């Protein structure tokens, strides 16, 4: 079994929204906003290779939206999903499973491509996995999240017949991947716990979008239930520090992963590392 980082490019989001109630004078010491208050964030995915099984976790933004849409998020950088797969010697058709942590556009946009007038699965031979509670939440969106759940990213997955649902606590997709769900950011978001070389790697998705979000109060304004996010972080962090879990960050612009340690200020990052270094 091998794990690979799949970089799909960078995009920009409002710094204030990303750090919630944390004042700008504090968060801008961590990352520098542009003149519009926007900061660059990664869209970092993971490929799990085990024999004939190739499991991709999340797919980034994709490229099928129009220029007006992209102007709001300013995608940039040289990396793309296709290029990162090619660098490992793989093609989209080689992917056997796509695990979507949740259906916000920056996590699932690359799952569907536009071919002429048709919207088709990018990964034609893959099973797409989602959580049923989250799927229902996404296809009947609330007003707060409606702009993040784009029907062209979501409905074609089910129409293709390639969609399956996976439950909290399941290892159905792979024996070394335990499905865990949290609901502070959005309903039933998946945070896979991956057993790799004797360690647990938590694919943090938007529970911890970056290492800067490890402190408990650092919660995004995008979260639908911020107090629940606080509780979910308070529950996971001590366990992660005590059991030497590693956090894999989807949106941190520079840091792929870190270990954790207990400090007088609570759980904080210990060492940063790349997935390839394990």
**How far apart are alpha carbons 63 and 113 in whole angstroms?**
8
Number of folded domains in the chain? 1
**How far apart are alpha carbons 99 and 194 in whole angstroms?**
13
**How far apart are alpha carbons 71 and 79 in whole angstroms?**
18
**How far apart are alpha carbons 96 and 70 in whole angstroms?**
29
% of the chain exceeding 70 in pLDDT: 100
197: left (phi over 0), alpha (psi -120 to 50) or beta: left
Among 9, 3, 1, CA closest to 56? 3
Please report, for the domain that includes residue 254, its CATH number. Answer: 3.60.15.10
Average pLDDT for the chain: 97
The rounded Cα 8 to chain-centroid distance in angstroms is 11
Order of strands, edge to edge, in the sheet holding 257-263? 177-178, 193-196, 199-203, 246-248, 257-263, 266-273
pLDDT digits (tens, 9 = 90+) for 112-146: 999 999 999 999 999 999 999 999 999 999 999 99
Average the pLDDT over 38-48 and give the result: 98
pLDDT digits (tens, 9 = 90+) for 243-255: 999 999 999 999 9
Q: Which residues span the domain enclosing 152?
A: 2-277
At 274 the pLDDT is 98
The first and second tokens of residue 157, run together, are 């997955």
**How far apart are alpha carbons 278 and 264 in whole angstroms?**
28
**How far apart are alpha carbons 90 and 277 in whole angstroms?**
21
At 162 the pLDDT is 98
Under 8 Å between Cβ of 223 and 213? no
Question: Which contiguous run of DSSP H or E holds residue 3?
Answer: strand 2-14
Of the pLDDT bands very low, low, confident and very high (cuts 50, 70, 90), residue 50 is very high
Average the pLDDT over 158-174 and give the result: 97
At 8 the pLDDT is 98
| 157 Cβ contact partners less than 8 Å away, ≥ 6 residues apart | 111, 112, 121, 128, 130, 163
| 143 Cβ contact partners less than 8 Å away, ≥ 6 residues apart | none
At 276 the pLDDT is 96
C-alpha dihedral sign at 114, 108, 274, 96: negative
pLDDT digits (tens, 9 = 90+) for 230-276: 999 999 999 999 999 999 999 999 999 999 999 999 999 999 999 99
């Amino acid at each position: 079994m091998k794990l690979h980082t799949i970089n799909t490019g960078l995009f920009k989001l409002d710094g204030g929204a990303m750090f919630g109630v944390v004042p700008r004078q504090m968060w801008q010491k961590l990352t520098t906003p542009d003149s519009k208050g926007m900061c660059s964030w990664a869209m970092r995915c993971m490929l799990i290779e085990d024999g004939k099984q190739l499991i991709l976790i999340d797919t980034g933004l994709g490229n099928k939206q129009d220029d007006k849409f992209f102007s709001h998020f300013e995608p940039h950088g040289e990396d793309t999903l296709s290029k990162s797969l090619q660098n490992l010697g793989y093609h989209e058709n080689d992917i056997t499973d796509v695990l979507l942590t949740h259906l916000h556009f920056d996590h699932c946009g690359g799952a569907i491509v536009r071919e002429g007038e048709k919207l088709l699965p990018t990964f034609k031979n893959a099973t797409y996995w989602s959580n049923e509670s989250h799927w229902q939440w996404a296809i009947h969106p609330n007003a707060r999240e409606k702009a993040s759940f784009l029907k062209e990213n979501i409905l074609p997955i089910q129409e293709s017949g390639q969609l399956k649902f996976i439950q909290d606590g399941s290892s159905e997709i792979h024996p070394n991947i335990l499905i865990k769900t949290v609901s502070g950011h959005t309903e039933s978001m998946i945070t896979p716990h991956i057993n790799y070389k004797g360690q647990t790697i938590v694919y943090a998705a938007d529970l911890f979008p970056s290492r800067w979000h490890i402190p408990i109060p650092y919660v995004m304004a995008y979260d639908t239930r911020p107090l629940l996010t606080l509780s979910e972080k308070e529950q996971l962090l001590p366990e992660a520090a005590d059991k030497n879990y590693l956090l894999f960050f989807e949106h941190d612009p520079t840091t792929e992963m870190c270990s954790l340690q207990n400090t007088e200020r609570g759980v904080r990052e210990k060492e940063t590392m790349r997935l390839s270094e394990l």
